[in-house]
Amino acid sequence: MTALPLAAAGVHLPAPATFPPALAVEGLSKAFGGLTVASGINLTLARGDRVALIGPNGAGKTTFVNLVSGLLSPSAGSISLAGEDITRLSDVQRARRGLVRSFQVSRLFHGLSVREHIELALLQRLKRTNRLFASIGRMADVAHEAAELIERLGLADIADARVDEISYGQQRLTDLAMSLALKPKVLLLDEPAAGVPTRDAGRTLDVVEALPGDIAVLMIEHDMDLVFRFAKRVVVLAAGHVIFAGTPAEIVSDERVRAAYLGAYGREDEPHGR
């Protein structure tokens, strides 16, 4: 007897789960007086996306990330995180909802150890900063999660060293561990390997590549070798506009991208970053 399709047999299967974009940016613009540094930028990241944001100096990359992360307020446009409009939320409120940003230059407390930095980030996520001076040993969940992150990022040998005693590459990994401690849904990485010696930069990218598959990652990067290694999609900014979005292979032959890097689009007049 020929089996009937389930639908024909009266069996109705549930529709596959659909998720709103991890991040949706629509018409994002920013002007300082008469100077427009971001103009009508649209960008969508799905869960697990790996997107590189590139462009010449003065293109507006850091301004864009500052707008998305909440350090700057947009002049126009909207930002949604997993379907929630976060356009008017502060950077702290966005981080608590899962939009986490690492900075181009590490912002660490030189008197604290690697482990203490990660524990501080965990306490922030768990809203236990009122217990800042309590013994972590009495908070088994915090100590256990910190130990897992230390192991995952290869920081075990220096976990109890002060951050001013370790290499810059290890500081950047500590910064990344703190970002992961906040359990991001969307992770914004501002040149994670900037200033890191070549021998250590590969380790940083190994960690980025091993991030959980449900985290959407947007990475600003100048090193095209890293872009090609990391990104499934590339977005190119120039003079505050998106001039290209596509696969890494497609950027090689795109005339707009070539022109941007030759200076036809790039400007050096951006007051708040590249």
Give the pLDDT score at 135: 56
Q: What is the pTM of this model?
A: 0.81
Give the pLDDT score at 169: 87
Give the pLDDT score at 268: 39
Q: What is the mean pLDDT of each run of 10 residues along the chain (274 residues)?
A: 53 65 96 90 95 90 94 96 96 93 73 92 79 60 92 94 91 91 93 78 82 92 84 92 91 82 49 43
Assigned CATH topology for domain 22-98+184-274: Rossmann fold (3.40.50)
DSSP-assigned letters across all residues of the chain:
-PPPPTTTTT--PPPPP----SEEEEEEEEEETTEEEEEEEEEEE-TT-EEEEE--TTSSHHHHHHHHHTSS--SEEEEEETTEE-TTS-HHHHHHHTEEEE-SS----TTSBHHHHHHHHHHHHTT-GGGTTS-GGG-HHHHHHHHHHHHHTT-GGGTTSBGGGS-HHHHHHHHHHHHHHT--SEEEEE-TTTT--HHHHHHHHHHHHTS-TT-EEEEE-S-HHHHHHH-SEEEEEETTEEEEEE-HHHHTT-HHHHHHHTTSS--S--TT--
Residues of the chain with CATH 3.40.50.300: 22-98+184-274
